[in-house]
A and B are shown apart, each in its own frame.
Chain A
Amino acid sequence: MLAVAAKELLQLRRDRRTMLALLAMPVVLLLIYGFALSFDVRDIRLAVVDQSRTRASREVIEAFLTSGYFVRVADLDEPRPLNEMFDRGIAQAALVIPASFGADVAGRRPTALQFVLDGSDSQTANTVLGYARQIVNATGAGLFAVELRPPVVARPLVWYNPDLDSSLFLVPGLVAFILMVSSVIATALAVVREKERGTMESLRATPLVALELLVGKTLPYLLVASVAAAGSLTLAWGLFDVPIRGSIVWLALITVLFLAGGLGWGMFLSSLADTQQVAFQLGLLSSMLPTLLLSGFIFPISSMPRALQLISHIVPARYFISALREIVLKGVGPEVWWNDALALVAFGAVVLVLATVRTVRSL
């Protein structure tokens, strides 16, 4: 087994391309996705229709513009041109302040603003609406000074991620995604390569048993993938300010468990495929889609249809992402995420047994 591992490591060291893919790809992907993938919306193109033209109305507009979320693209006197501006995508949102606004504020009467939104992208629209509400509430309170005081006030207090910065939520998932894809593909290719070159036939005529071969081949990749994982997490911490509140030991443990499952899955795929091309396709499809869609990486599992929720139980990234968020963002120990760790162990064991059985049979 050690002979296989040593040989594989030597080959891996000479294979610059695979090495680069394993080590550099996670970093590049993390950079690209880390910056591109964000639910935070900025620089929303806002058309302003101020029919009041009073100090109060200017104050509201000013609050919108200084929030950093909006940029003013038009300053209109009446709302009619808005239709065309929305159609042509010049404006994404519009703030319409009625003529009576200034007088109402001065007279301390309840009043209303109109906020128009392009709802074709519901995700963005929801976020923008949230911002707008917050701004209006805050300015409203300022304008009316102490007089406006509803009997009950809900004071939201957000823990772990007080700014609701979506990168804190996304980066752990991103790390899982990248590690899964690269570990599955790298191992699947490594085994199928032996088949393609014909060395598998010679290996089979030696006293090596299938399990030794599989574990021996997996170990070096586990090592390299762990380095890549450490790199990705460091980058996440340095660049995206993801705090690593939990223990590094737990972090390492859960990551190795997850990687072992991914590598095992790659081994299993390699017993199904006879060419590197097929192995690559299988690896990409079976690791990328479930990890992206069914792991809670982007879409919350709790809001999925029942059937998909059930399927998500066999996606290892689901457990890893959940545990990773617990460790990284909350800093809690195994007493909270032990069942996630157990699920990863179970996945790894099942996959390795499957791979061994399949390899023995296909040999």
Chain B
Amino acid sequence: MSATAPAAAAAPTVVSARALTRSFGDFIAVDRVSFEVARGEVFGFLGSNGAGKTTTIRILCGLLAPTSGSASVAGYDVATEAAHIKTRIGYMSQRFSLYSDLTVDENLRFWAGAYRLWGRVLEGRLRWAREVAELERRRRTLVRELPGGYRQRLALACCLLHQPPVVFLDEPTGGVDPEARRRFWDLIDELSAEGTTVFVTTHSMDEAERCHRVALMHAGRLLALDTPRGLKADFAAGTVLEVGCALAARALPRLEELPGVVNAALFGDRLHAVVDDPARGRAIAAALDEAGFAPVTVTPIAPSLEDVFIRAIHAASREGAT
């Protein structure tokens, strides 16, 4: 897990959003979102489905006009200069962006043509892409016959052919096995080291841990934005407890009612509780024991990004209710 924050002061801003809003009728998909992404940063957008991640990316790629607010990518305004943006970004959409009835080389050549590459530059980039996708020896294989991991790398290579300074990856590792996923992220680290800004959405906590900074999105709003370490450091020491007990799912409502419990959630067959004071642990164990969920164990743990995420959503919904 390499999650080092870049020297934010030195690197110029490549992507910025100011009170960016997009609504579809009465539904507000993106609600006054503001952030800045520096050159070479791996910027993660974490949120469940429907949180507004894809809509934000589509606005930044110039595919969708913002309802209000503004955003710029590589120095160009998304609302008025989309044509300039399109030559300076790579976009790997959530849905498969390759033609499965074409071969590896045919796909590469097509996308290179779409980015207007030709001549010696074209040949050079094709060689680079085959190498990155590790498909030098399967140039004439139809894409539909490739394993998922290779397709994902090829799709990434396709949208990087024109060497864009920014690349937007919308849930790039869906349906790929863990090993291929890990190698895909190694590739992202390489890109970032070479100065490419990587903007990536995910709903996997493991992947979010590998980003330099993570933005938490929920119901169209940006709830928190920091490095993974910074987000987790927001908890006072000892306030995240892991509760092991019988019938954990049924114990959850009881746990949530106990005094001092800020929020609680089910993690597999265990419960995580965020409390206002580390000393609450003993009382919680006693209360659950009494309620018939013995044997009960309560241990303070290091918070994960998921704890951060759940608490942020919890706080936001309580705020919205009052």
Contacts and interface: CB of A to CB of B under 8 A. Distances in A.
A11 B102 contact: yes
Given A201-B95, A205-B61, A205-B91, A6 B110 contact: yes
A289 to B, nearest CB: 33
A289 B96 CA distance: 37
Interface in A206-249: 206-208
B237 interface: no
Contacts of A201: 63, 93, 95, 97
Contacts of A203: 114
Interface stretch (B82-90, B199-207, B313-321): B82-90
B102 A10 contact: yes
A207 B114 contact: yes
Interface in A316-363: 363
A198 B95 contact: yes
Interface string A6-32: 110011001100000000000000000
Contacts, number: 69
B113 A3 contact: yes
B46 to A, nearest CB: 22
B79 interface: no
A203 B115 CA distance: 10
A133 interface: no
A292 interface: no
Nearest to B112: A3
B113 A4 contact: yes
B111 interface: yes
Contacts of A14: 101-102
A197 B95 contact: yes
Contacts of B106: 7, 10
B87 A207 contact: yes
B114 A11 contact: no
Nearest to B142: A14
A54 B93 CA distance: 91
A207 B86 contact: yes
B159 interface: yes
Contacts of A202: 91-93, 97, 159
A6 B113 contact: yes
A185 B270 CA distance: 57
Interface in B89-136: 89, 91-99, 101-102, 106, 109-116
A58 interface: no
Nearest to B89: A205
A2 B106 CA distance: 13
B114 A198 contact: no
A10 B113 CA distance: 14
B164 to A, nearest CB: 10
Given A199-B99, A201-B95, 7 more contacts: A3-B112, A3-B113, A3-B114, A6-B109, A7-B109, A14-B102, A206-B111
Interface of A: 2-4, 6-7, 10-11, 14-15, 197-199, 201-208, 363
21 contacts: A3-B110, A7-B102, A7-B110, A10-B102, A14-B101, A15-B101, A197-B95, A197-B96, A198-B96, A198-B97, A199-B96, A199-B98, A201-B95, A201-B97, A202-B92, A204-B63, A205-B91, A206-B86, A206-B111, A207-B114, A207-B115
